Amino acid sequence: MSKQIFKVDESESEIRIDTYLSSMFSDISRTKIQELIKQKQVLVNDKTCKPSYIIHTDDDIVCDFSSAEISIEPENIPIEIVYEDDYFAVVNKPSGMLTHPTSKEKSGTLVNALLYKFGEDLSSINGIYRRGIVHRLDRNTSGLLIVAKTNDAHEKFAKMIKDRNVEKHYRAIVKGRMDQNIVINEPIARSKTNPNKMCVSPDGKQSVTEISIIEQFDEATYLDINLKTGRTHQIRVHLSHIGHPVFNDTLYGFGKMKIKTEEQVLQSYKLKFIHPFFNKICEFEIPADEKIDKVLLYLKERRI
């Protein structure tokens, strides 16, 4: 395997480099990755490091794991292409699909589908496990994602997202009645008690979420959410923090649902930005998905 190059984005910073690389190379054990780091097979900003090094946004990481055989197989999985040109595509990721492979799941992900659809016409900046992936959605969050076809496009989009020049809107249905539009500006960090969770913490990174009410119900609220920053689980964490967890988000406190749907009711439905190579506005929007329609129908029927 040739050298792999990664640039750390803001949602992945402030964790140990061995932890970060374990997520990138899910076929290699963390112990083996620690050995490779100690053997100077990993450089951060052209310097060697220790396995305990804490990575930062925009760190350049170069790995030479030539002794490890890693491959991701293309799979003929239908995916909706909302837009495509020579530089990027916008796809509609369904609920239940991982954005990229993990140590437990190496097939059925968006990356497997992208490799079948686009072949080698995908950026490689984030390594073989994340070909084309500029930003991600949680497994059970559906909706729009930007996929970079070239490394140049990937770098431009990564900078646009970092500079907050990509407008990202989500639909969500949350527990409880909200009575006013709000902006949540609370720092988010990884939980010290559960590594799979994030939390509001004074030690975290600035995180800003703009929330607008679409429709109110006695026991729930339908929201439009403008994501100003891109922290891991940001929307889910912020909404849970103010006492309005996303419907069916069991990780952040919603609990069991009366409605049969296995995914949190959250959808990335709108993207807007200036094309990175041409001076034109790109705006993409998709209708509400099945899980949102199902919960809205349930809430409206209870109101009658």
pLDDT of residue 68: 55
270 dihedral zone (left: phi>0; alpha: psi -120 to 50; beta): beta
CB-CB contact of 148 with 154 (8 Å) = yes
Question: Sign of the CA dihedral 115, 119, 121, 126?
Answer: positive
pLDDT of residue 21: 86
Six-digit token string for 160? 């646009």
d(CA 169, CA 271) in angstroms, rounded, equals: 7
DSSP 203: T
pLDDT of residue 32: 82
Q: Which domains does the chain have, with CATH numbers?
A: 4-63 (3.10.290.10), 80-163 (3.30.2350.10), 167-271+279-303 (3.30.2350.10)
d(CA 242, CA 280) in angstroms, rounded, equals: 38
pTM (2 d.p.): 0.79
pLDDT of residue 258: 61
Is residue 179 flagged as an active site residue? no
pLDDT of residue 203: 86
pLDDT of residue 67: 54
d(CA 254, CA 249) in angstroms, rounded, equals: 5
Selecting among 138, 218, 249, 289, the annotated active-site residue is 138
Phi first, then psi: what are they for 160, rounded to 5°?
-60, -45
pLDDT of residue 256: 60
Phi first, then psi: what are they for 284, rounded to 5°?
-130, 135
pLDDT in tens, the chain (304 residues): 457 778 887 777 788 898 888 877 766 778 888 888 888 889 999 899 999 999 988 888 888 776 555 678 899 999 999 999 999 999 999 998 999 877 667 789 999 999 999 988 999 887 777 889 999 898 889 999 999 999 999 999 999 998 899 999 999 999 999 999 999 999 998 888 887 788 999 988 899 999 999 999 988 999 999 999 888 899 999 999 999 999 988 888 876 656 655 578 999 999 999 999 998 999 999 999 998 999 999 888 877 5
